[in-house]
């Protein structure tokens, strides 16, 4: 089924025309005589691969999605490892930076602060209201590690939703990319004549909060079956909006909760490999975070579950986690700090501020160092070598996106640890051969879990997304590796199996929703696991 959105312009007002669904068959003579699907796929791939620049490939794929979305998703599914970096991180970062220049056509909903008081009427302009099941909403205030990109953040919502379709079989017409425009503090964009957003600085937090209250209320009225994913809100807003609204509406924050789930999962598998090499008990791991924003603190919160699942108390779990921000090690005596950092602030350190990462590594002696700092090369040779000195197999996760902000590259980590590193990064790196053996980097990216969390929440019609549903997604992912993937030393499954993985995660999420009594599709409770998995797979949309 192809949905064609044709923009037309009249009196400066942009209208969307929606073609009938499904479209009428194309009359004979209006396509070439031989346009066979398999051959056409080869043609599309050749056209894609002929382009030198990844941004050009992004634009090509975006046009293909518009012209023939079934072909676009067929290519995504059949070539997941090749296509994901083009429609998602790292290339989507460039697409966001350049969005106002490469913009071709409307692909989502834009809600601006000027719509305050009439948000409901804007939402009703969406052409596929009854189909809508999942929205990814950003305000562009912290896109990947690239900072405030204002309305140029829209491609991140679009990219995440493409992965919902490819990765979990959510129907394309059920997805709603949304960008909220409350201005931008990015002076370069404000000065750019082509910038597509409001030409004003961001409104105060209070005004934004009022807009969000109205927006979420109206969303629940206009789209009663919709799940919302908050994406790339700057840290203060990410925490504030999640805690203000999570009990009222079915929503989750991908950067806090999705990232937490995916890293917990990878860490569980990494800790086993590391402990097997060192003989250290699984409970004795110590984790050092560089970066204490929404992602760093979200992951740290989720990683307390790693220790609690092993039987440690909350206090014992907290003691094993250390946070570092731009001021160095976070500890009580350092002075006032943002609310979200307080829980992990150390009480057992009282000296001078400790800022040097090598010094901090020598003080903490972590078994794992995780980067969510946006600081390129922060895990330099000295840091990585100290990690290797303290550990038989150090766990090193440079998780910042896109690639150019990664705290460390896989090739560097392999070289500086003599091939001993257990590695996962936010954006993909190529595999490395070391002393005749192939070593594979993991991709610790929330893309592994949000499609399955979404699918499970949609199918169970969860009224709210609980912490235990997120944890269930994480455990579902950790347990989804095949024996062959374990034998290759992987800590995440291969991305080419994303549909299977999403099915497993959805099953875990639905079961947990049922346990918590937040499922509204209560008929699914009657199904045993095999029947439920079959039900989930049968609901997945497939391209032709």
User: In the complex, which residues of this chain contact ligand CC(=O)C(=O)O (CB under 6 A)?
Assistant: 89, 144, 232, 254-255, 401, 426, 445-446
Which among 446, 483, 468 is positioned nearest to 517, based on CA atoms?
A: 468
- At residue 246, the 3 state secondary structure works out as coil
Binding segment for Mg ion (CB under 5 A), chosen from 108-116, 249-257, 415-423, 484-492, is: 249-257
Considering only 232, 325, 412, 512, the residue that binds Mg ion (CB under 5 A) is 232
Binding of Mg ion at residue 255 (CB under 5 A)?
Answer: yes
Binding segment for Mg ion (CB under 5 A), chosen from 83-91, 100-108, 232-240, 511-519, is: 232-240
| Cα–Cα distance for residue pair 276/273, rounded to 1 Å | 5
Considering only 94, 325, 407, 471, the residue that binds ligand NAI (CB under 6 A) is 325
Binding of ligand NAI at residue 237 (CB under 6 A)?
Answer: no
Contact call for residues 450 and 160 (beta carbons, < 8 A): yes
Q: What are phi and psi of 435, to 5 degrees?
A: 45, 50
Helix 80-87 crosses helix 54-67 at what angle (to 10 degrees)? 100
Binding of ligand NAI at residue 229 (CB under 6 A)?
Answer: no
Query: Tokens 């992912």 sit at which residue?
Result: 477
Paired tokens of 290: 């560089």
Which partner from the list ligand CC(=O)C(=O)O, ligand NAI, Mg ion, none does 292 bind, CB cut-off 5 to 8 Å by kind? ligand NAI
Which partner from the list ligand CC(=O)C(=O)O, Mg ion, ligand NAI, none does 291 bind, CB cut-off 5 to 8 Å by kind? ligand NAI
Alpha helices in 419-466 (DSSP H): 450-460
Catalytic residue among 58, 65, 73, 160: 160
Long-range contacts of 489-494 (CB under 8 A, 24+ apart): 489/273, 489/439, 489/440, 490/269, 490/440, 490/442, 491/266, 491/269, 491/270, 491/273, 491/422, 491/424, 491/442, 492/262, 492/265, 492/266, 492/269, 492/424, 492/442, 492/443, 492/444, 492/448, 493/448, 494/81
In the residue annotation, 88 being an active-site residue is answered as yes
In the residue annotation, 376 being an active-site residue is answered as no
In the complex with ligand NAI, the residue whose CB is nearer, 325 or 519, is 325
In the complex with Mg ion, the residue whose CB is nearer, 140 or 442, is 140
Task: Determine how many CB atoms are found less than 10 A away from the CB of residue 12.
Answer: 5
Residue nearest to ligand CC(=O)C(=O)O (CB): 401
Considering only 162, 173, 294, 302, the residue that binds ligand NAI (CB under 6 A) is 294
- β strands within 431-485, DSSP E: 432-434, 437-439, 442-443
Q: Which of residues 127-146 bind ligand NAI (CB under 6 A)?
A: 142, 144-145
Catalytic residue among 58, 73, 88, 306: 88
Site for ligand NAI, rule CB under 6 A: 142, 144-145, 235, 255, 259, 262, 290-296, 324-326, 372-375, 399-401, 405, 426, 444-446
Active site residues: 88, 160
């Amino acid at each position: 089924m192809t949905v064609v959105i044709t923009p037309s312009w009249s009196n400066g007002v942009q209208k969307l025309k929606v073609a009938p669904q499904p479209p009428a068959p194309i009359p004979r003579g209006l396509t070439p005589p031989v346009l066979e699907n398999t051959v056409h796929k080869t043609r599309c791939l050749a056209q894609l691969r002929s382009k030198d620049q990844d941004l050009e490939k992004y634009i090509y794929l975006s046009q293909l999605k518009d012209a023939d979305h079934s072909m676009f998703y067929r290519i995504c599914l059949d070539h997941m490892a090749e296509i994901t970096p083009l429609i998602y991180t790292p290339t989507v970062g460039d697409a966001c930076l350049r969005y106002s220049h490469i913009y071709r056509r409307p692909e989502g909903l834009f809600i601006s602060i000027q719509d305050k008081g009439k948000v409901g009427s804007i939402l009703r302009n969406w052409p596929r209201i009854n189909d809508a099941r999942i929205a990814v909403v950003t305000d562009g205030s912290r896109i990947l590690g690239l900072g405030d990109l204002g309305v140029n953040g829209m491609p991140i919502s679009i990219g995440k939703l493409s992965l919902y379709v490819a990765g979990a079989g959510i129907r394309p017409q059920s997805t709603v990319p949304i960008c909220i425009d409350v201005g931008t503090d990015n002076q370069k964009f404000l000065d750019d004549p082509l910038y597509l957003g409001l030409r004003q600085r961001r409104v105060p937090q209070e005004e934004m909060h009022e807009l969000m209250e109205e927006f979420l209320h109206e969303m629940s009225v206009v789209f009663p079956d919709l799940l919302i994913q908050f994406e790339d809100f700057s840290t203060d807003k990410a925490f504030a909006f999640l805690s203000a609204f999570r009990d009222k509406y079915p929503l989750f924050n991908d950067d806090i909760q999705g990232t937490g789930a995916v890293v917990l999962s990878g860490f569980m598998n990494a800790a086993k490999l590391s402990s097997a090499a060192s003989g250290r008990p699984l409970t004795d791991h110590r984790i050092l975070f560089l970066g204490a924003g929404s992602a760093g603190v979200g992951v740290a919160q989720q990683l307390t579950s790693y220790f609690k699942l092993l039987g440690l108390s909350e206090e014992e779990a907290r003691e094993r986690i250390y946070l570092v921000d731009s001021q160095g090690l976070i500890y009580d005596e350092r002075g006032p700090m943002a609310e979200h950092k307080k829980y992990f602030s150390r009480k057992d350190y009282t000296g001078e501020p400790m800022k040097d990462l090598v010094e901090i590594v020598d003080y903490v002696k972590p078994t794992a160092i995780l980067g969510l700092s946006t600081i390129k090369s922060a895990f330099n040779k000295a840091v990585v070598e100290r990690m290797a000195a303290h550990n038989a197999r150090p766990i090193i996760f440079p998780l910042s996106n896109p690639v150019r902000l990664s705290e460390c590259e896989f090739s560097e980590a392999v070289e500086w640890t003599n091939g001993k590193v257990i590695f996962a990064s936010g954006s993909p790196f190529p595999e490395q051969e070391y002393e005749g053996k192939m070593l594979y980097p993991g991709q610790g990216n929330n893309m592994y879990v949000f499609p399955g969390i979404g699918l499970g929440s949609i199918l169970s019609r969860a009224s709210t997304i609980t912490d235990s549903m997120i944890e269930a997604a994480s455990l579902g992912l950790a347990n989804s590796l095949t024996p062959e993937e374990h034998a290759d030393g992987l800590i995440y499954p291969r991305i080419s199996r994303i549909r299977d993985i999403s099915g497993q995660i959805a099953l875990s999420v639905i079961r947990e929703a049922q346990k918590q009594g937040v499922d509204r599709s209560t008929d699914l409770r009657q199904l045993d696991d095999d029947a439920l998995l079959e039900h989930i797979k049968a609901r997945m949309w497939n391209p032709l």
